[in-house]
Chains A and B, each alone.
Chain A
Amino acid sequence: MIDWAYLFEVSLTGIASGGLYALAGLAFVLVYKATRVVNLAIGEMLMVGAYLFFTFAALFALPIWLAIPLAVLGCGLLGALIERTMIRPLLGEPPISAFMVTVGLASILVGIVEIIWSADQRRLPEFLPSTPVMIGDAFIAPKVAWGAGVAVVLIGFVLVLFRYWRGGVALRATASDQGAAYAMGINVPRVFSIAWVASAMIAAVAGIIVGAIGGISSSMGVFGLSVLVVVMVGGLDSVLGALVAGLFIGWVEAVAGTFLGGEYKLLATFLVLVVVLMIRPYGLFGTHEIERL
């Protein structure tokens, strides 16, 4: 007999953690939409954000309301640096080059984090309210719930931005045809920078929340693999897809993990990926790339 109340509770938790997947997915999609680059280092950028926050809040003992923006900005700076030094030089090259560069970047970031902060796991200072969150009779861990809340707000903000701000159109233009975008007077390099900076900042927020929930370590980047699955299911260039897929995969993982066992989490997500790709090879909301002869 299914315990519906329990299922509801587990589902809520799953969806809430899915919100974080969605947030990280958003960061990924932003970069892909603007620059057509698959950023495999998204998990590592998340990690840097978390570690920066750790440094400011715990090591420098700055107040939380200062530490968070500093960490986010710091990560944004990193994003700009990465774009300038590693991504822009590869503009005309085949996509595998940028892909591999992000693989290299992931290694660099992990190594640097280990050198500066060592590979040990750490805990972040508490800053989220710790009163349990109840929806009806269902309990959600407060950190998870608040984290999800932040994620949803941020995603909503970006969605609206894309819709109504002409920058959103510029972003999409540069992704599909850089030459034409240039000709239209769009400052392509600046769009690239903005995309990477924004993506890094969003990743930092996600990283801080993930770190707050589960602690930080130099292997946090493995979160990125799940994010990759999320964006593939949702569609590499779809913000909405990242949201929907993130929530869905979060839910699938929670339910599979609780009712089938922890080892089945990965299997379940992979299964979802395979099924979705078979029905819609470009993801649920992705755009189909048409090849002309």
Chain B
Amino acid sequence: MSVEAVTLAFGGVKALAGVGFDVKPGTITAVIGPNGAGKTSLFNTISGFYRPSQGAIRFRGEDITALPAPQRAKLGLARSFQNIALFRGMTVLDNIKLGRHAHLRTNVFDALGYFGRASREEAELRRDIEERIIDFLEIDHIRHASVATLPYGLQKRVEMARALAMQPKILMLDEPVAGMNREETEDMARFILDVRAEWGVTVLMVEHDMGMVMDLSDHVVVLNFGQVIARGTPAAVQNDPEVITAYLGAGDVGELRKKLRGGAVLEPNA
């Protein structure tokens, strides 16, 4: 996928200005930046919730800038949300099944009658989800639970499951480990790596946990005030003076670098 010179303006405020970067298939790309840098706006633009005022988004060679959101989902653009967007009126299983919506073919008449195409499709879907997703994410014990009753960490996992059900070519994760403890973060990191390895899915994620970003990603894009201020491998970005300034504030870069060498992990500026 490639994002080309995307500009997103709300009235006079530019949430994104000339943002451009490439995402190579099969890689894990992280988008980082201080709060308010425009990361979620970027995701929303790629998903199709916002229309950029300038620029284009290409996916597997196709220009999808004008494509409505549901169609992007059908092409294989899956995502999870920063503040969990599970459907509280449904069980875990139903939420996951919903992910497959765009790829199913049951129409309303099949649905009313149920026996026949609808039941076959549902059975097929259920088997596929159970074997590939529920097993994979280890959530079989809660499959019939109502999502509203689940703890935060499990909800995030269900969100991931739903995104996987979308048969994604590219998986966009918005802060997948926000609010998780060390153990949960490691679990999630493992899942992400497994997803890439077993499913061949490209991953694009917004994340604040620098440890995770540095360990997992092949490529990092740094945003600040709606602009790309750096991109490259994790190591390169970590040493980029602009990035350090953005996160830790202005000051002597050499001094800051020395502080960093002391072993501190990059944390976003409060």
Contact = CB atoms under 8 A, between A and B. Distances in A.
Q: Give yes or no for direct A-B contact (beta carbon below 8 Å).
A: yes
Interface of A: 293
Contacts of B47: 293
Contacts of B44: 293
A293 B47 CA distance: 11
B81 interface: yes
Nearest to A291: B49
Contacts of A293: 40, 44, 47, 49, 81, 85
B80 to A, nearest CB: 12
Contacts of B85: 293
6 contacts: A293-B40, A293-B44, A293-B47, A293-B49, A293-B81, A293-B85
Interface in B69-95: 81, 85
B228 to A, nearest CB: 22
B268 to A, nearest CB: 21
A214 B139 CA distance: 67
A113 B13 CA distance: 55
Q: How large is the interface on B (under 10, 10 to 19, 20 to 34, 35 or more residues)?
A: under 10
Interface of B: 40, 44, 47, 49, 81, 85
B64 to A, nearest CB: 18
A293 B50 CA distance: 10
A253 to B, nearest CB: 37
Q: Tell me what chain A mostly uses at the interface: helix, strand, loop, or mixed.
A: loop
Nearest to A290: B10
A250 to B, nearest CB: 35
A115 B12 CA distance: 60
A242 B81 CA distance: 39
Give 3 nearest A-B pairs by CB, closest first: A293-B49, A293-B44, A293-B81
A277 to B, nearest CB: 22
A293 B40 CA distance: 9
A293 B81 CA distance: 8
B13 to A, nearest CB: 13
B11 to A, nearest CB: 12
A293 B79 CA distance: 12
A9 to B, nearest CB: 46
A14 B98 CA distance: 54
A293 B45 CA distance: 11
Nearest to B41: A293
Contacts of B40: 293
B236 to A, nearest CB: 31
Nearest to B47: A293
A265 B266 CA distance: 68
A240 B40 CA distance: 36
A293 B49 CA distance: 8
A293 B83 CA distance: 9
B177 to A, nearest CB: 20
Contacts of B49: 293
Nearest to B79: A293
Nearest to B49: A293
A87 B44 CA distance: 36
B171 to A, nearest CB: 17
Nearest to B81: A293
A293 B85 CA distance: 9
A293 B82 CA distance: 9
B182 to A, nearest CB: 29
B35 to A, nearest CB: 15
A276 B44 CA distance: 31
B84 to A, nearest CB: 12
A293 B44 CA distance: 8
Nearest to B50: A293
Contacts of B81: 293
A293 B69 CA distance: 13
Nearest to B10: A290
B68 to A, nearest CB: 15
B211 to A, nearest CB: 27
B263 to A, nearest CB: 37
A293 B42 CA distance: 12
A74 to B, nearest CB: 42
A108 to B, nearest CB: 29
B88 to A, nearest CB: 11
B47 to A, nearest CB: 8
